[in-house]
Amino acid sequence: MERRVLRAVFLSCLVLVLYQRFLAPPPVPVEQVVAGQPEPSTALPAQGAVGGPITPPTVAGTPPPDGSAPSAAGLTGGEPAFTPTVSDGTDNEIVVETDVIRAVFANRGAELISWQLKGYSDDAGGQVELIPPDAAPDQAWPFSLVIPDNPELTARLDGALFRPSTDRLRLAGESGTLAFDYEDSSGLRVRKSFDFQSSPDQPYLVRFSASVSTGSGLLPVTMRWGPALGGVREDTSRLVFQQVPGAVLYGRAFADGRLEDVDLHRALPDDLAERGIYDGQFTFAGVDNHYFAALVFPGTEQTRVEYRPVSTLRSEHDLVAFDVTFEPGMADVPVFIGPKDFDVLGVVHPDLVRVIDFGFLSVLVVPLHRTLKWIYGFLGNYGWSIILLTVLINIVIFPLRHKSVVSMRKMQELQPEMKAIQARYADLKATDPAKQKMNQEVMDLYRKHGANPASGCLPMLLTMPILFAFYRLLSMAIEMRGAPFMFWITDLSMHDPFYVTPVVMGASMVVQQRLQPAAADPTQQKIMMLMPVMFTFMFLWAPAGLVVYWLTSNVIGIGQTVITNRVSGPTRTRQVRPPAERQVRKTATTIDVKPVKPSGPSDDASVRPSAPPREDGKRGRQNRGDRRPRGRGNKG
């Protein structure tokens, strides 16, 4: 049983290492650009700089922005131009700042061109940018409007110069609204409104509303979100789980004309060719990547969400865009653009925490995550919080680990007798039915001395799920992103840059194995010798927080093993009797009659003394004739 468990653990870890090393998709290089293309600039205008020309990408068929109002002549072939009645004169940028975000809108199309998170830094040390700056020229920006089945009107909306309600919006703890308006002589009236929620509970939430009307009334509109999502890290480890940008939506979708049960749907860019359109009732829909998300909350009404893979200057089909179609005169639609922080998501909507992909171990990851954040509230350092959480976990499993050490000591004491049993059946083949008697004798030996071979593997079986849960937690939790520990470990979600902690961790595993009783099986001994080497190699590219957890657990295990060995004393050795002695012992216990002593009176009442000799020299019973009854013919 121990061999099977150890082999299963070894093979599982080996598959994990080989997959992450050779099969996992490599991280997308951030600064790589296509040859011949100018390098995209991520620099935004300084705070307060308004009025600089911008040329955001527009949808196909949109006239190039030239500072003038769009004309219908180029779209409908010779028709007279529409004169703007409510618009802006030149291209401008409107900056919106809160305590946690810095957003930049372009008045051409009233579209979002930048959304930076102040609390998170990128690889270059700047603020994380969630709007990819290297979008292809034919891609739309977020919050673009599309009129279904009317490409000409869609192009007019995308090229129109909207008039903003303010040139700059600075919010400090309060809410604020930025509105854009456009009207022309054809009767077209468009309004976009962005209501920023600057409260501490929902700092990354903005409520978006839009209305488009002509002389015939209100028109249905589609909100288009351009390529998403930025914030992907370049400097990452191959062993760290990386979630690529993809589609995500939660709710009830139609399939084969029937409304399915509530479920979470995910799709990678390559999967959207098979299915990219979802109709149904969705709690949220949008795009997410490893640490960030852009999600729309359509409400209880039936909604259509259409996903499509899009290209950037780096490569083709590495990001996702989506469209959400609403009914005419739609009300406010909440839009979340921010980090996948467990507490932040839970405040926005209770089901929004499902967007964090903790995998099948979420039943363990979520309690670990909550406990870790609770400890962090006292210590203020996630490295020390991981150490303290590891101590608490080992306190919980202390009785099991103690029982494991005691059981292993008993198994070591029984090794001579086990080898003797195996030696008696060594000449039999494995298919021989008599071989089953050996297993029966071994189990009888375990039962007689209260030893359980499975108890030695129980702590390992319990700690391995916790290990994988920690791996998932440290890989997915945004709190670990950029969290420093001490000295050279400046990011617990990344591997140790100098590989010091993995080597020390491997040495601690060697010491821990030396203190534990040696296994009787040579195959098991070899596997145990390979475990430190395998774990050290695997943990070289593991998150530093995971190595800190495993190293702390090993140190606690070493201390507990030393204490258990001192309390239990030295291991007792059991002497195995030779086969002849066992046979004599077995024969003596089978015969009930004891041997007669050669001389002296017998002390055993069960042994009858021999009769004295008769006078005629023959041995016989005394007074035999007196005791025997007379027959009928005996007259004397």
pLDDT single digits (tens) 319-369: 899 999 876 656 679 999 999 999 899 999 999 999 998 888 888 899 999
Q: What is the mean pLDDT of the chain?
A: 76
Tokens of 314: 């780096």
Residues sharing a CB contact under 8 Å with residue 395, sequence separation 6 or more, in sequence order: none
Q: What is the pLDDT of residue 189?
A: 94
Closest listed residue to residue 245, CA positions, set 391, 380, 135, 114:
135
- Between 154 and 65, the more confident residue is 154
Angle of helix 382-396 versus helix 362-379 axis, rounded to 10: 120
Indicate the pairing of strand 168-170 with strand 163-164: unpaired
Mean pLDDT of 125-136: 84
Q: How far apart are CA 431 and CA 76, in angstroms?
A: 87
Q: Which domains does the chain have, with CATH numbers?
A: 91-357 (2.70.98.90), 362-414+451-568 (no CATH)
Q: How far apart are CA 373 and CA 386, in angstroms?
A: 10
Q: What is the pLDDT of residue 382?
A: 94
| Residue 570 pLDDT class (50, 70, 90 cuts) | low
- Between 236 and 626, the more confident residue is 236
Q: How far apart are CA 484 and CA 536, in angstroms?
A: 22
Predicted confidence (pLDDT) at residue 53 exceeds the cutoff of 70: no
Q: What is the pLDDT of residue 475?
A: 81
Mean pLDDT of 33-43: 35
Give 354's strand partners.
Answer: none
| Residue 57 pLDDT class (50, 70, 90 cuts) | very low
Tokens of 135: 């979008």
Give the chain's largest Cα–Cα span. 167
Predicted confidence (pLDDT) at residue 429 exceeds the cutoff of 90: no
Burial 567-600 (b: 16+ CB within 10 A, else e): eeeeeeeeeeeeeeeeeeeeeeeeeeeeeeeeee
| Residue 165 pLDDT class (50, 70, 90 cuts) | very high
Q: What is the pLDDT of residue 379?
A: 93
Q: What is the pLDDT of residue 125?
A: 77
Mean pLDDT of 502-530: 76
Closest listed residue to residue 119, CA positions, set 370, 290, 288, 341:
341
Q: How far apart are CA 442 and CA 436, in angstroms?
A: 10
One-letter amino acid at 528 equals M
Q: How far apart are CA 314 and CA 272, in angstroms?
A: 20
167 and 47 Cβ atoms separated by less than 8 Å: no
125 and 135 Cβ atoms separated by less than 8 Å: no
Give the H or E element holding residue 253: strand 246-255
Give 212's strand partners.
Answer: 190
Name residue, tokens 């993809």.
246
pLDDT tens for each residue of 519-557: 555 666 677 778 888 888 888 888 898 899 989 989 998
SS3 142: coil
Q: Return the percentage of the chain with pLDDT > 90, whole number.
A: 30
SS3 281: strand
Most confident residue range from 67-76, 95-104, 408-417: 95-104
State the DSSP code for 119. Answer: E
| Residue 130 pLDDT class (50, 70, 90 cuts) | very high
CB-facing half-sphere around the CA of 10: CA atoms within 13 A: 17
| Residue 73 pLDDT class (50, 70, 90 cuts) | very low
165 and 107 Cβ atoms separated by less than 8 Å: no
Most confident residue range from 37-41, 406-410, 441-445, 477-481: 477-481
State the DSSP code for 432. Answer: -
Predicted confidence (pLDDT) at residue 636 exceeds the cutoff of 60: no
Tokens of 99: 């305590």
- Between 393 and 457, the more confident residue is 393
Burial grade of 226 (CB within 10 A; 0-12, 13-18, 19 or more): buried
Predicted confidence (pLDDT) at residue 204 exceeds the cutoff of 50: yes
